[in-house]
Structure 1
């Protein structure tokens, strides 16, 4: 990665280049429902459309531009990827769906993987040839990752895996999984007996079962390991160090660590979109925007969204974070997901009785977009650690509060 920080004019020129390319290559509406996030990819039709789009974006040099050239990136300064991401949002492009690879597995491998790991995995992540999923949560333990019971037993040059994982996003399509498994069940501290694997998903003894969401869409699976053999070379970070590696991975997932390849990871829904929607809604014959209570709620949401943007800028200035270092980064996932929940929920409230309709009903506002967006947001307030777990992290690691 280049250490040379680009000038304002260099970024402006690059942004114009990206914008011009997107104006020509941004895909048209395919005529079928596209996922709002990577957690709703539930059909082969959606998958192939999104795979083609990500490959096209990477081939043009607009994905992972700050990742090393020898692994498929361009070795540029991260500021260039930031400009790309802004243009992707502005042009409302489809999502770059391989998020677990682009945002979590890829940065981890680049940080602690061997040269063999980097050569084997990174380019396939960027090109969308290799889809990745995550094997952390288990049916009986939820967010208590330290209590994972999926077993990995060393047998010569292999590990034999037994157990199951739940909420495996795109598990039925993935080629690889970042897998947390217990290699030593005898340790006194549950965190000490875990190991981290870059596990293949195609092999005897590995099966997935799709899970239907409240939206009617798929995207999650439960994954079952039954005497599944994976090469010992899949281990990353050393045996028994899985908890440390998992925590490093979660820093990428929760936005507290940099390194993600970039892209448009979800359809951006902003307060401006909600206001545009409200303009066409009337109550008792009068425009809803004339209602002072509605206006007050919308202004509060505008303030909340503006505060999130300013907090992101503040997080890069150390002098403005000296009281509670890392507080903004560690709270990012909680703040954003809960704001999105409140805003999308209000998008339903202001529809009145029409808010009870759903996609496919001809009387829905915006085709049921807000209903679908609201239900899909539950995945973001749960995935990567529930909002309650995030509050515990902030209380303990930022504010220094006791566990009880």
Structure 2
């Protein structure tokens, strides 16, 4: 999956190839609202558009470039996928929506799955034939993932599942779920009684109910298991090792571990986009961008955005990650999601009274883009562990601070 480091000229030639292909094949505006992230896929129309786009990108050889060729990838160096992703961002293509498969389940299966599991699941993840969802959070336990109470009881060649999960992204469309369930309720430590499954969603006894978000869109479901039988072969990592496997999965989700297939998980929004969208706004009869206070705040955001970009690049330099290998990626997830929240909120503040308008209002700035983007960003500050949980992790595991 790695191979010899490619030369700058090889990467440049490959990126030029990708750029030319995208110029010819990236989809035109479909005429309906597209999701800003993979957490807003709420209609069959959106799903089929994004599924077709991901399949086209993979068929051209530009998704999972560094995944093994025997499972649908190309077996090239990961740097080539990085060039694809940079070009996807530059050309503002639609998102590659199957993020839980591409970014979490896929890398996990490739790292610790059996050959049979790799052959069964990986190609379908890349092609978008098989959509994946995540069964971690539960209604009664908030961020206390280790206290998951969904039960999995072994019965011959099956496990029988009972319980419920919440905030299941694309649960109503998914074919498979990465599922954390309790197989030993008598374990002395709650973390020792958990197991991890690659669960089919089509099993009898599994039901999903859509959850409407503050934006009016859908994308999440609550998932119920009632005597649902899944094959014992769905177990991954061994019975009782679910907590360790879940923590490994969260490293992918938080960006602290490599291996994702690539693609564009969300629409990239920058300060330059904000500046472009407010150029025509005026305050007290003068262009808003001539206000020195506004300009000063925008410059602060530009500097922070640049710093985040440099911090992301630092994660790939071994010499800067020796003492605390996960400190940079873990802090990046927290800082980036909180930065995006503040930047989008400022985009609303700059609109004054127009900031109260929303998508569909003719007078809304940029069609209500910033309002929708602001509300959608809360999923990012919650997913993978809330910002508060992330701060605790950094304090305890990176800085060595006590829990109390």
> TM-score over 0.5 for the alignment?
yes
Question: Which residue number in structure 2 is paired with residue 195 of structure 1?
Answer: 195
Q: TM-score, normalised by structure 1?
A: 0.99
Look up the SS of the partner of 1:15 in the other structure.
helix
Residues 387-402 of structure 1 aligned to structure 2 (within 5 Å): 387-402=387-402
Q: TM-score, normalised by structure 2?
A: 0.99
| 8 Å CA contact retained: 1:338, 1:381 | yes
Residues 279-294 of structure 1 aligned to structure 2 (within 5 Å): 279-294=279-294
1:208-251 CA-partner distances (Å, limit 9, x unpaired)? 00000000000000000000000000000000000000000000
| 8 Å CA contact retained: 1:137, 1:167 | yes
- Residue 119 to residue 319, structure 1, CA distance change in 2 (3 Å): same
What is the CA distance between 1:323 and its match in structure 2?
A: 5.3
Counterpart Cα distance in 1 of 2:320 and 2:111: 28
Counterpart Cα distance in 2 of 1:176 and 1:298: 43
| 8 Å CA contact retained: 1:360, 1:368 | yes
Q: 4+ residue runs of structure 1 moved beyond 6 angstroms?
A: none
What is the CA distance between 1:319 and its match in structure 2?
A: 2.6
What is the CA distance between 1:325 and its match in structure 2?
A: 3.6
Look up the SS of the partner of 1:171 in the other structure.
coil
| 8 Å CA contact retained: 1:325, 1:398 | no
Counterpart Cα distance in 2 of 1:211 and 1:253: 22
Unaligned residue ranges in structure 2 (runs of 5+): none
Counterpart Cα distance in 2 of 1:133 and 1:318: 32
Question: Which residue number in structure 2 is paired with residue 68 of structure 1?
Answer: 68
What is the CA distance between 1:278 and its match in structure 2?
A: 2.0
Question: Which residue number in structure 2 is paired with residue 263 of structure 1?
Answer: 263
1:91-123 CA-partner distances (Å, limit 9, x unpaired)? 100000000000000000000000000000000
| 8 Å CA contact retained: 1:324, 1:399 | no
Counterpart Cα distance in 1 of 2:323 and 2:374: 35
What is the CA distance between 1:317 and its match in structure 2?
A: 2.1
- Residue 322 to residue 234, structure 1, CA distance change in 2 (3 Å): closer
Counterpart Cα distance in 1 of 2:326 and 2:204: 43
Look up the SS of the partner of 2:134 in the other structure.
strand
What is the CA distance between 1:35 and its match in structure 2?
A: 0.3
Residues 61-210 of structure 1 aligned to structure 2 (within 5 Å): 61-210=61-210
Counterpart Cα distance in 2 of 1:316 and 1:37: 25
| 8 Å CA contact retained: 1:271, 1:343 | yes
Question: Which residue number in structure 2 is paired with residue 7 of structure 1?
Answer: 7
1:297-340 CA-partner distances (Å, limit 9, x unpaired)? 10110011000011112222233345544211121211110010
Q: How many residues matched? A: 404
Counterpart Cα distance in 2 of 1:83 and 1:321: 23
